[in-house]
Every structure is written in C-alpha cells, then in structure tokens.
Structure 1
Amino acid sequence: MLAACRTLNRLELVTETMRAALEALAVAAPQWLTALAPEEWFDRYERRVDAFRLPVGDAARTEYVMTIGADGFALLAAVYSPDAPGWLRELPGVDVLRRIWVQHYTVQDDQVRWRQDKQLPPGRVLIRSPFDPEARASMKRGSRWTGYKVHLTETCEPDAPHVITHVATTESTTTDVEATADVHVGLDERDLLPEVHLVDTGYTSADLLVSARRDFGLELLGPVHLPTTRQAKENAGFDLPNFTIDWENQQVTCPKGAKSTRWHPAVRGGYPVIETSFHKRDCGPCPVRLQCTDSPARGMSFHVREHHEALMKARADQSTDEWYQRYKHRAGIEGTVAQAVTRCGMRRTRYLGLRKTHLQHVLTACAINLVRTDAWQTGTPLGATRVSQFTRLRPPAAIP
C-alpha cells in the first residue's frame, strides 16, 4: 500500500516538516507566530520544497540542513517556553516537528549536529513524511515503498461464494507473522473463526502452530520454513533431525552416540528455545566432525518441546499429497488481491494515516463482497487461471 504522500529524502523531509509546522501555527496562532518569526523564515519556507532548487554540493547542503535544524530548534524552544500557550505543543504539526528533529538532529556543546545515516532510529519508528507520520518505508522481494500493508482473509468453501471476512491494515514494517495472531483475534471477536485457516508461509511459525490451536481452537495450515543449515541445503551431513532429543532427561544424543553436556532454556527473537552443547572430548576426535554442526560451541538450539514437535509434524505433513490437496483451496486469495488492486485501486491509499487507510480497505472489501455475491446469485463462474496458448499445446504427462 503506497501512502498518499510523496517520498522525501532527508533534506526534503526536514524542510517540509518545518514548513508544515509553520503552516499549522499560522492557522492556530497567527499573532503569536508573527511576533516570533524572523524575516528570513518567510523567504525560506514560503514554498514547498519541490518548488525550488536545493543547494548543490556537499558543503552547501550541509550548511543548509544546519540552518533548517537551527530554525526548528528555535521554533520548538519558543513553543515550549513558559510564556507560550500550552496548547501549541499539542498541535500535530508541532509534535511531528519535535519527533523528526529528535530522529535527525542532535545538540552537542550547544551546536546543532546532523545525524549520520547509521545513527538514525530503526525503520519501524523512522518517520518518512510530516503529512503522514504513520507511514513507514519497507522492502519486500526487492520492491521498496512507503506506506502500509493490508492482510485479507476470505472464505474458500467450494459450494459458497468466497467473501472477505476480515481486513487488517498494518504499518509496512509489520511482518506477516506478527499479523497472524491479530487476525485471529479480529475473527474471534465477530465469531468468524474458521476450523482451518489456510495461510501463506509468512504467516506461520512454530509458536503460531501451537497458539492458534490452544487459544482459538483452529488449525493453522500453511507451508512452514524448512531448515536453512548447510546440511539441509546440501542434503548431506547431520543436523537437528538426525539427533535424538530426550525431553524428560534434558539431553540430546548425536548420531554417533555422544550425549550433550549442556541444556539451557533461553529466548531468541522473543521465542523460548533450548540451547545445547557437547563436550570437546566427544566432538574433537569424531570422524564425521566436518559433517556435523558448524557451531564453535559444538552445540545447537531448537524450540521448546511443544513448538518443536508441532514444527516437525508440519514439515513432514507438507510433503504429502493429502496436505497439498487441502492447501490448494487457498489459491483463490491471489485472485482476491488482484481484484482489489486492479478493480478497486487498493495498491494506493486515498487518505493520510493508518485509521483512514484501514477504512478504505474495509469499504473496498465490502464492495468486493457485493460483486461476488451478485456473481454467485447470477451464476457467473469464477475466473480461471490464465493459461498461455503455447502451454495448451503441451502433451499430457505419460502414465507409468
């Protein structure tokens, strides 16, 4: 979802932020601002940043950005002074100015400093536009954008119209796996939880496989990530599936019979895990040492028992034809996304802010549901997957 504002570089951002704050104060407190603003502010901020040419050269740009920074700090000092009306601080334009100045500037020894790129806060909190401070920059599969994400849930019964039952709008930096539980909460609040929830790989994790069943009584069905170890990629050597885990005695046995000497509960990425290691006297002389773990500590980590067993079962199930036949019902969701984008313009938000953008998404989903209900009642068939003319010429596979 592209935000309804232009993507700005850092120099443009601070300039537009200062101008937006002055515009807000000019409406809310014109007399107060007139008494404060020096003459050069009127020349510097009378036009939008894309209406004039920015300074050329590193030295000129550095001087310019320091001037903007000093102007912003002067304005904030005046707004937060005891003599200023307290309600000025509550203006959205002033608050955004304060937040962006904290992110891009610092003051050291009474001197304004411009933060280097590596000193900026993480993308989850970095404001990209003063006009939509909730929009975030993100990247997925090589595509970069500033805006939001939308997550759609729909029914997929073959004997009923496919209708959208839930719409979730999130910041663009929110990962799919972080949205899964909130989707379940939203469906549960309206008594729309399915027995089986078909999802993409990004919406699954070992923790969610367990919590979906425990908290909502549903089966989360979707491809789980496969191991990324060297042994798994090369299909050679020994990794976690080749080791025997004794949960009761809290010990791991390697394929050569050596037993772990350490079993330590820990937390990684917010999830509970078990960290283990083996003694050097067992691993050092082992003839298959190079085919085993690459960890310098001669150990490995894995999920706690309930999560580990759920993940192992999911990996085994998704390699079967039965699992594939169940999961193929999800194929229609790609058509839903295409319908929302091409027919309803969902790729771009028409409004500023997360709440208004979410309202747009809900109204779009309602429109799609009306179209689909009409198609169902009039007997209009579902659109088929496009097949090229060349592909149609392919001979059927030989039956062994």
Structure 2
Amino acid sequence: MRGVELAEIPEETVRVARAVFPTGCLVMRVRDTLGPVFADADFEGLFPVRGRPVVSPARLALVSVLQFAEGLTDRQAAHAVRSRLDWKYALSLELTDTGFDFSVLSEFRARLAADDAGRGVFDAVLTAAGEVGLVKSGRRQRTDATHVLAATSDLNRLEFVVETLRTALNQVAEAAGDWLLGVAAPEWFDRYSARPEDTRFPSRWAARIEHGDQCGADGMVLLQALWSASAPPGLRHLPAVEFLRRTWVQQFQHVEGVLRWREPKNTPPGLIRLRTPHEIEARTGAKRDLGWSGYKVHLSETCEPDAPHLITHVHTTAAPVTDMAVLEDIHTALAERGLLPDEHLVDAGYVDAEQIHHAQRDHRVSLTGPLARDTNRQKAQATGFDNTRFSVDWENRQVVCPTGRTTTSWRETTSHRGTPVVRAKFPARDCTSCPARQECTTSPKGRYITLRPRPEHEILQQIRPEQDSDQWRKRYGHRAGVEGTISQAVQAFGLRRSRYRGLAKTRLQHHLTGAAINLARIDAWLTGRPLARTRTSPFAALRPAGSDPAGRN
C-alpha cells in the first residue's frame, strides 16, 4: 500500500468544480465540512506488506459510502469516479484521473468483511462529524430494529431438505463423480437433478411427508457411503456434505429403526436451525405475525432538535436474537466511542427491570421504555390484593401482607426464563383462617409472592406507576422518530434486503448504509432542509381534539 494524502484538493479540480457547482452539492458540502474523513493508515492491517500496488483504501472507503448513498452498482460507482466533478473533488483527484476498474470495489469490500472492518468505516464518518460538533455524547438517543431478508430465496421445509441433498450431490459429483455413480440409485437423477422450484411436489400433505421421508432415506444412504472406508478421502469435509449432515440431524430422527421427518415441535430453536444450503448463517425470525429468514439490524441515533439526527451505532445479528440480548453490546460500543447518552429511548422489546438496572449501574444511562404490565391475577382483574399491596422487608427477608401476616419461607431461585427471582410463601394455616382470603388467594396451600431482586423490584415499583402519567408519555414520545429512520433506511437505502450472503457481509452492508445515511443527514442539516412531517391519513386527521389514540379516554 502506498500512502496517499487526501487533505489537499488539486487547484484545477477546485476551480472547475466551483464553477460548475457555485452553490455546492451534497458530495462537495460533506467534503468541505468533514474533510477527507479517511486516511490510508486506517486500513494498513487489511493489506500485505508485499504485493502489487493497491488503489488508495481511503479513497475506496469514501467511494463505497458514496456508492451506498446514491444506490449505485460497482460499475456505476467506478464510472462516477472517472466522470463526475463532485466525486473528484471529494476524492482529491486530478480532473484527468481515470479512476480504477470496478472490480476493485468488490475486492475491497471482501477485505473489509473478512476483517470485520466495516465498523471502522462507519466510525470514521461519525468521528469526523464529532470533530465539527455535529454529534456529542450525553443527552438523548433512541434505538429500534427491523428485519432483514436474506439474499437467497426462502424455502419451505420440503424444498429445503431436497435442495440440501441436491447441493451435496453436486459438490460430491465435482470432486469424485465416478465414485458417486456407484452410490447413487438410478431414481436419484429424477429426484435431485432439478432445482426444487422447478420440481412438482405432491399436493397432498401425506404424500409430501412421504416424499420428505424418502429424501431423508436417500440422504442417509449418501452419508453412510461418505463415512465408509471405501469413500475417497476428504469428501466428508466438503462444506455441502457437512451442511447435509447437520441438516439431517435437525430434520430427521430414527423411529423404530426407520428414518422419519421430525415433528415441527421437535426441531431445534430458530437460533441454530438451518434454513438454506446457500446461506449457512441465515436463520428464521418471528415477530408477532411476521416471519422471515435472514437477519435483524438495530439502529441507534441522536434525537436532539438543535443537531442533526445522526446514527451512532449499527448492530446486525441473526434473525432470532432478541432485542433485549443486544442492549448491553450497544451500550458497550457507544461507551467505546464516547457517545453514551444520558437517556436511551427504546421500545418494549429492549427493556425490563434488569436491563434498566444494568444500564444505570454499568453505564450511567437512564433506559426509558414501557415495562410489561403486572400479570398478577388480582392486578389484571383489578380486584383483591395484588403484589403492590404487600410490604417487603429485605433486611429480614420477609413479606408482610395487608392484614399484617408475614411469610415463613424466603427462597432465592430462578424463573422459567432463567432470571433471578425471590419466592416468598405465607403459611397455609394463616391464609385459611384469614378473613380477607377471598380477596387474596384461592390456593389451599397459601399465598405465594414472586419478587425480582431488590434493585429491580424497586425499579418496577417506581416506573410502572410513572408510565401512566402524561409527563412520562411526553418524554417517551421522542422515541417514535426512530421509526422514520427505519423507513428512510428501508425505502431510500434498501436496508431490508441483504445484498450479499453471510452475516459478515450483511453487517458490512449495514455499516456502509449507516454511514451513507449520516452523510445525507449532515447535508440536510447544512442546507436547512427540515425533517419531514409525520404522515397522517385523511381519516385519522378527523379525530376529535383531545381523544386518546390508545382508547384510554
């Protein structure tokens, strides 16, 4: 790698660009405000010491971000480097510079993905914005997530097992075709030569189950042959063969010596369940009525009115990973950048008492989001003594009921979700003779009280009543703006469909997209373009003044 200095723009490039764009344009304004953003030294670890000379990685990084900002293909981006004045201005190129071949961009992305360096590209844009005062630590930020569809087509279960076996047969045929001829039954050529979408599967459910069982038996024959002593060495280590082995473990089981399709309830959870042989890391996610195969991306952004709303963190995971599981990673990454907020606005999927406690304890962040309602029967029916009517003596490890009776049992354990809880029990004799028994419990064994650990219990006692106040709703209302960011990322930048296969490349796509959105928002801030208003349908606009959208009035 030969270092290139990008701080100085050639004089002739400046003169012509200013003449053609007297009021500037997005690319030129961003360059004037942020400077060159990238330096070749930032990418030294991606390239060997010896080898053929490379195009300046700082320029390639900026081209990649601009490419995502404008939705260009590699060919179009390479052409823009050769032909567009504003891009030459931003890249500090002479007017006569002929650029580079478009294939250099895909090679550069491959290096970024292999080294997980996409975050460095995103951080460089964010750092440059911070140096000119466009993003600061503290204050408020908000986070939300959306689903991302895998680059490969979604397969139903029968198509999946057929395509998995077909892919393994093709890979084995390339490596040892003569050996495979002695293993494959003649009917295999009719069953597995064509793609599943080109195959007419049975329409009756019983016939489809039978077809799946037959596919499982054929796959087992192939696996046994591959693990036999007569198989050529190395075949069992082929990627498609290993994927076939893992898939058959997940999809089939032996029942009385016969290989059968597993019942859906006996298949592995979505986090490890394979979906397609053409994208090994794709998983199945579900949210309410929505199901998809692919990934999930979390976007965090600033949301103060006196500064541009810039994305501060992009986090990509497999589809089944819950929102709550990534919150600590988000806070840790923001802390590393020095961009932790004072208040973090999130939806219900990210927040519970434990997360609120840990965010405050570990990062001094006030996590704001709607806590789940108390599911206690008395609270739900608004009758009798719910848990808030009981006093907890944490020092003496006792709970006192509204009639003055105390628990005799205090046990620290875990819930069915694995979270720590305290279970306290009143003796049956006290509950049986209690005059308020009908308002408290119907259990003949006495009343049980389940509590979260003390810090979390106190959080629940404080925040749940606050959530019903207008002041809390007004403060939390700022979170809604992040949905506009998700909409912009999906509609203008194609965030919802992965361009590449695999989690690493999809993560790189999202980091480049986040950087591109920040450039667009910085330019909107510089030109004074206001935020778009929230769209309201004509019917919704007829809502009487003062009525509550949630139906609480």
TM-score normalised to structure 1 length: 0.91
Map of 1:179 onto structure 2: 326
**Alignment pair present for 1:311 and 2:460:** yes
Mapping for residues 161-172 of structure 1, pairs under 5 Å: 161-172=308-319
Residue identity opposite 2:228 in structure 1? S
Deviates more, 1:193-202 or 1:343-352: 343-352
Give the Cα–Cα distance (whole angstroms) in 2 for the partners of residues 157 and 28 of structure 1: 59
Alpha-carbon contact 1:239-1:293 (below 8 Å) kept: no
Q: Give the CA deviation at 1:87.
A: 3.6
Closer, same or farther: CA 227–45 of 1 in aligned 2, 3 Å: same
Corresponding position of 1:277: 425
Whole-angstrom distance in 2 between the partners of 1:232 and 1:279: 22
Q: Which moved more, 1:166-175 or 1:314-323?
A: 314-323
Equivalence for 1:218: 365
* Structure 1 SS opposite 2:433: coil
Letter in 2 for 1:164: I
Deviates more, 1:62-71 or 1:251-260: 62-71
Q: Secondary structure at the residue paired with 2:149? A: coil
Q: 2:295–2:316: 8 Å Cα contact kept in structure 1?
A: yes
- Supply the distance in 1 between the matched residues of 2:205 and 2:476 (Cα, whole angstroms): 55
For residue 435 of structure 2, the aligned residue among 272, 287, 309 is 287
Aligned to 1:111: 258
Residue pair 1:137, 1:146 contacting (<8 A) in 2 also: yes
Instruction: Name structure 1 gaps, 5 residues minimum.
Output: none
- AA at the equivalent of 2:224: A
- Provide closer, same or farther for how the CA distance between residues 286 and 64 of structure 1 changes in structure 2, counting only shifts above 3 A: same
User: Which of residues 356, 380, 399 is equivalent to 1:233?
Assistant: 380
Aligned AA (1:292)? C
- DSSP-derived class of the 2:493 partner: coil
Point out the more displaced range, 290-299 or 258-267: 290-299
Report SS of the residue matched to 1:361.
helix
Q: Does the CA-based 8 Å contact 1:55-1:61 persist in structure 2?
A: yes
- How far apart in 1 are the matches of 2:352 and 2:167? 43
More divergent stretch after superposition (359-368 vs 269-278): 359-368
Equivalent AA in structure 1 for residue 221 of structure 2? A
Give the whole-Å Cα distance in 1 for the aligned partners of 2:424 and 2:299.
40
Aligned length: 398
Q: CA deviation at 1:376?
A: 0.4
Q: What amino acid maps onto 1:221 in structure 2? A: T
Structure 2 unaligned blocks of 5 or more: 1-147, 548-553
User: Which moves more between the two structures, 290-299 or 242-251?
Assistant: 290-299
Distance in 1 between residues matched to 2:471 and 2:326, nearest whole Å: 27
CA RMSD of aligned residues (A): 2.4
Matches within 5 A, 1:1-400: 1-34=148-181, 36-57=183-204, 60-108=207-255, 110-268=257-415, 269-293=417-441, 297=445, 298-389=447-538
Give the conservation status (yes or no) of the 8 Å contact 2:240–2:277. Answer: yes
The DSSP-based 3-state class of the residue aligned with 1:209 is: helix
User: Which structure's relative contact order is higher, taking Cα pairs within 8 Å and 6+ residues apart?
Assistant: 2
Contact 2:300 2:311 in 1 (8 A): yes
What amino acid does structure 2 have at the position aligned with 1:370? Answer: L
Q: Is the partner of 2:194 in helix, strand or coil?
A: coil
Greater Rg, structure 1 or structure 2? 2
Q: 1: distance between equivalents of 2:494 and 2:443? A: 49
